């Protein structure tokens, strides 16, 4: 058996060469990092849950016409994706004040924002992913004005879809981070959603109790991360794959 060629290894995922040109295999690891790599741990089962949750959300986004890199699930830790050129900007959408916004602007955690706010961060580990403006992005050529428009429009569609999806299962979508890539198809190039969407990259709070069901449990040493991610998967109806009743989200009244 030949070894697969590793194309890229990140903090929580590995990309391998895919079966056909233009495809890759995205493998979810159990590693967790925070504070720009200062904190590191292996949390058994996290990769499987993130793969499952991300696959579920990307499938639904494909279904509603949001272009993504996702093709199909391969196994419990891996998915087949289209190879894209990652745009070096993380896009954060915020609905409720939390995390770095509360620290930067002194807004109390949990404050509902007057409208959804989009922020850009330059993907650069050495610099700790600094926040940047559209001016920086265009001046340094990280993305064109049209690509910025596309990323913002897609990020807001993802926000509307996910806010509704999670509201229906009793979870508040506080904020999330997404990444985009350029997909080359012949002479055409278009911006598509890439990377992952999981409790590693979102803030998800239980609507009734405000319990954190996301990676803040690791960042803030709260424990119970796997149980929280399992709760998200359970409410989405994707934890027990063999149980017919559990297919699809369960409405929480
Ligand atoms: P922040 O409040 O720390 O800026 O994070 C905003 C959102 O982005 C939150 O849902 C966590 C997510 N995020 C990542 O997925 N990766 C990162 O490296 C950072 C800093 C945040």
Per residue in 205-239, pLDDT tens?
A: 999 999 999 999 999 999 999 999 999 999 999 99
Residue 253 pLDDT more than 70? no
Model pTM above 0.75: yes
Q: Confidence class of residue 16 from pLDDT cuts 50, 70 and 90?
A: very high
* CB of 129 sitting under 6 A from ligand 1: yes
Name the segment(s) of the chain with CATH classification 3.30.470.20.
87-206
199/215 Cα distance (integer angstroms):
6
Q: Confidence class of residue 249 from pLDDT cuts 50, 70 and 90?
A: confident
Report CA(246)–ligand 1 centroid distance (Å). Answer: 30
Torsion of CA 44, 14, 143, 59, to 10 degrees: -70
Report CA(177)–ligand 1 centroid distance (Å). Answer: 6
118/133 Cα distance (integer angstroms):
10
Which residue among 46, 97, 99 is best mutated to probe the pocket of ligand 1, counting the most ligand atoms within 8 A of its Cβ? Answer: 99
Instruction: Tell me which of 3.20.20.70, 3.40.50.2000, 3.30.70.2740, 3.30.470.20 is the CATH number of domain 87-206.
Output: 3.30.470.20
* CB of 203 sitting under 6 A from ligand 1: yes
In this structure, the residue with its CA closest to atom 14 of ligand 1 is 201
C-alpha distances (whole Å) from 159 to each of 70, 76, 146, 244 are 18, 26, 20, 29
Residue 246 pLDDT more than 70? no
Give the bridge partners for 203, in sequence order. 175
Torsion of CA 61, 63, 67, 71, to 10 degrees: 100
Choose the weakest-confidence range: 56-70, 143-157, 212-226, 234-248. 234-248
Average pLDDT over residues 86-90: 98
For the 6-84+225-244 domain, the top CATH level (class) is alpha beta
Residue 21 pLDDT more than 80? yes
Average pLDDT over residues 30-45: 94
Name the segment(s) of the chain with CATH classification 3.30.200.20.
6-84+225-244
Mean pLDDT of the chain: 95
* CB of 92 sitting under 6 A from ligand 1: yes
Report CA(92)–ligand 1 centroid distance (Å). Answer: 7
* CB of 201 sitting under 6 A from ligand 1: yes
Report CA(94)–ligand 1 centroid distance (Å). Answer: 10
Report CA(129)–ligand 1 centroid distance (Å). Answer: 10
């Amino acid at each position: 058996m030949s070894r697969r060629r590793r194309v890229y290894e990140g903090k929580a995922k590995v990309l391998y060469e895919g079966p056909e040109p233009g495809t890759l295999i995205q493998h979810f690891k159990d590693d967790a990092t925070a504070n720009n790599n200062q904190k590191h741990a292996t949390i058994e089962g996290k990769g499987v849950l993130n793969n499952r949750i991300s696959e579920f959300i990307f499938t639904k986004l494909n279904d509603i016409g949001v272009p993504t890199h996702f093709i199909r699930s391969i196994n419990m830790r891996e998915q087949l994706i289209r190879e894209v050129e990652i745009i070096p900007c993380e896009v954060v959408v915020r609905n409720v004040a939390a995390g770095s916004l509360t620290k930067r602007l002194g807004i109390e955690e949990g404050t509902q924002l007057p409208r959804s706010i989009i922020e850009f961060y330059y993907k650069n580990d050495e610099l700790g992913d600094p926040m940047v403006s559209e001016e920086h992005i265009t001046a340094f050529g990280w993305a064109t004005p049209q690509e910025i428009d596309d990323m913002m429009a897609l990020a807001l569609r993802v926000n509307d879809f996910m806010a509704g999806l999670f509201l229906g299962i009793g979870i508040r979508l506080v904020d999330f981070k997404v990444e985009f890539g350029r997909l080359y198809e012949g002479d055409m190039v278009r911006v598509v959603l890439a990377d992952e969407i999981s409790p590693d990259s979102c803030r998800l709070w239980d609507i009734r109790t405000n319990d954190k069901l996301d990676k803040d449990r690791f960042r803030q040493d709260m424990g119970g991360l796997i149980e929280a991610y399992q709760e998200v998967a359970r409410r989405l109806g994707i934890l027990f794959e063999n149980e017919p009743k559990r297919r699809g989200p369960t409405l929480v009244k």
